[in-house]
Amino acid sequence: MVVDAHAHVWQLARGDYAWLTPELGSIHRDFTIDDYAAVATAHEVDRVVLVQAAPTAAETTHLLRVASSAPIVGGVVGWADLAGPAARRELESRAADPVFKGVRPMLQDLPDPDWILQPALRPSLVALAELDLVLELLINPMHLPYALTLLDRHADLRVVVCHGAKPDIGAGGFQPWANDIAALARNTNAACKLSGLVNEAGPGWNVESLRPYVDHLLECFGPDRVVWGSDWPVLTLAATYTEWSTATDHLLADHPCTDRAKILGDNARRVYRL
């Protein structure tokens, strides 16, 4: 089974995608689950995990509504107000829907890089672990030390790092990202998404420009803690679905078939309880 562990759908009229401005050109329009399926099923994708693109409860409700009528959706990673007084009740209510798999605070967009470490979040983080939900970390390299501290305090959290923590591939930003992501992998049980890297590489990317970063992620996390995702339709700012899928095949070509099967589907099924 092939699982795309990271894709988005959105409706601009909903009005809560602050980052999605006309300057983004080709992706400043609606993208539906039918649009996604038309692209992904051509690549034999069996299931997709839809991930929030707006920091609102309405976004989570929207994604769960989409999932309810789309068999290709295996899970939804939404958003919740983890700092709010009703956070636990909100998480418990969402977790009653078996398609709801976790939450993703948009840490990269918050002014405080250590926001996730504030004491007020502790009850929410405890609730995530008790409810067996995933916490996805949308972070940049600067956030990696804070992520390590987070998991030192909450080792029972099931954490997935989005987009390999977004190394600045286009500028050759290998360090200190490489050391910090290695420390996170070595000292925690976090998983990592093999996704979003072509966007970090930017125009003119090729397989060889991605290879040092992908090889490092695979070395650090091993074949059991890496999940593959497309990051569609954000992906399309830098590549087509076919181009990223083909690049993935090249990047994983030297790995055993069993490891490729884990990365392309089996790990996601386990991590997201699909």
Instruction: From first to last of the 274 residues of the chain, give the pLDDT tens digit.
Output: 999 999 999 999 999 999 999 999 999 999 999 999 999 999 999 999 999 999 999 999 999 999 999 999 999 999 999 999 999 999 999 999 999 999 999 999 999 999 999 999 999 999 999 999 999 999 999 999 999 999 999 999 999 999 999 999 999 999 999 999 999 999 999 999 999 999 999 999 999 999 999 999 999 999 999 999 999 999 999 999 999 999 999 999 999 999 999 999 999 999 999 9
CB 141 within 8 A of CB 162: no
Superfamily assignment of 3-271 in CATH? Metal-dependent hydrolases (3.20.20.140)
Domain boundaries, given as residue ranges, for the chain: 3-271
Residue with tokens 């067996």: 132
**Pairwise CA distance, residues 145 & 201, whole Å:** 23
Q: Can you give the pTM of this predicted structure?
A: 0.97
> CA quadruple 239, 266, 82, 85: dihedral positive or negative?
positive
Q: Is the backbone of residue 226 left (phi > 0), alpha (psi -120 to 50) or beta?
A: beta
